[in-house]
Amino acid sequence: MKRYTYPFLLLSLLGLVACKQSEPSPAYAIAIHGGAGTILKEDMSPELENAYRLSLDSALTIGEAVLKNGGSALDAVEQTILFLEDSPLFNAGKGAVLTYEGFAELDASIMDGATQNAGAVGGVRTLRNPIRGARAVMEQSPHVFLSGPGADQFGAEKGLDTVANSYFYTPRRMEEWKETHPDTTPAYLGTVGCVALDQKGNLAAGTSTGGMSDKRYNRIGDSPVIGAGTYADNATCAVSCTGHGEFFIRYAVAHDLSSRIAYLQEDVQTAADHIIKKSLLEKGGSGGLIALDRKGRVAMPFNTPGMYRGYAKPGERYVGIYMEE
């Protein structure tokens, strides 16, 4: 019997060392963004900065409550984005930028990492909360992506709240539109996104935006495009992007992150940094992303001066705006 004691002890010891070295996964995790771009402290009043920080913090509280109570990552993503869409501060839902013609035209998507089901709406003008439209497409239609008046009609038929397009206007956006329209280069800033890991180990991601200001011809960006602006796969990560959408579509940024983790076995931070700070930057694409892997590790790289962002895990919370924080 004695000769079995040493190997047993050795194995137990090795087990203990292995346990110590592999990071414990948090029970849940959530990360959010409120858009990336030229966000500089000198351009921001203390009141506005405070309002952004408070909104990001409240959004995290909403999503964290869902996860803490055992809710699904999908619900956490939807509820969090709903709050950010209703906030006039962000370029999503109320407060969205206006098109060339002066309308709000909204895009959103959501993806379930457990089933890889996904739903998206593009160019909607009357659905009060496009993220709800995206979820309805995922759960109540055989499709993934609906656009324009058809998407508005679908949402209305499913009983979602509809509003007049003027509901989305805010004085700030109308002022911007009057000042810059029509001879400006389209700008973007303030898209919102959320990724979450629930207590069952499921990941989900969602993104919602008004797109680029002064956009024309029913332009749709990356936010509602699965694999470009949003992606979730329990095996790899959940990701939501923000930035110059055309680049994120061309380089399938969200899916690229998942692929680097799957095929190169990179960790989420290394993969996300490589894409945002190297490959996308070299190609001229500006923006950032938020991502969570199945162990609840968060990455939030951006290649612009700032990105509204934050994350929460049990006992941990972070909110940031500028590069150096």
Q: Contacting ligand ASP (CB under 6 A), which of 112, 152, 222, 293?
A: 222
Answer yes or no whether residue 209 interacts with ligand ASP by CB under 6 A: yes
What is the gyration radius of the CA atoms in the chain, in angstroms? Answer: 20
Known catalytic membership, residue 191: yes
- CA-to-CA distance for 81 and 77, rounded, in angstroms? 6
Of 191, 236, 242, 304, the catalytic one is 191
Burial class (CB in 10 A: 0-12, 13-18, 19+), 3: exposed
Smallest gap, in angstroms, from Cβ of residue 35 to ligand ASP? 5
Partners of 226 in the beta sheet? 230
| Sole residue written with tokens 């509820």 | 79
Give the range of 112-120, 222-230, 268-276, 306-314 binding ligand ASP by CB under 6 A. 222-230
Q: Does 245 bind ligand ASP (CB under 6 A)?
A: yes
- What is the rounded CA–CA span in Å between residue 292 and residue 251? 20
Residue-wise burial string across 9-33, b where 16 or more C-beta atoms lie within 10 A, e elsewhere: eeeeeeeeeeeeeeeeebebbbbbb
Is position 243 an interface residue for ligand ASP (rule: CB under 6 A)? yes
Structure tokens at 246: 């055309």
Establish if 35 lies at the interface with ligand ASP (CB under 6 A): yes
Q: Is residue 221 near ligand ASP by the rule CB under 6 A?
A: yes
H or E stretch at 62? helix 46-68
Are 284 and 259 in contact by the 8 Å Cβ rule? The answer is no
In this complex, which beta carbon is closest to ligand ASP, that of residue 244 or of residue 297?
Answer: 244
The residue among 268 and 289 lying less far from ligand ASP, judged by its C-beta, is 289
Closest approach of ligand ASP to the CB of residue 248, in Å: 6
Pick the stretch among 215-223, 252-260, 264-272, 307-315 that binds ligand ASP (CB under 6 A): 215-223
Q: Could you say which of 79, 242, 258, 303 contacts ligand ASP (CB under 6 A)?
A: 242
**Least distance (Å) from ligand ASP to the CB of residue 214?**
12
CB of 106 to ligand ASP, least distance (A): 10
Q: How far apart are CA 71 and CA 65, in angstroms?
A: 8
The only residue of 55, 79, 191, 303 in contact with ligand ASP, by rule CB under 6 A: 191
> Measured from the CB atom, is 202 or 223 closer to ligand ASP?
223
Q: Which is nearer to ligand ASP, 296 or 306 (CB)?
A: 306
Spatial CA neighbour of 28 closest among 211, 198, 151, 247: 198
Sheet holding 287-293, edge to edge: 230-232, 237-243, 287-293, 298-299
Active site residues: 191
* Residue ranges in contact with ligand ASP by CB under 6 A: 35, 91, 188-189, 191, 209, 211-212, 221-223, 229, 242-243, 245
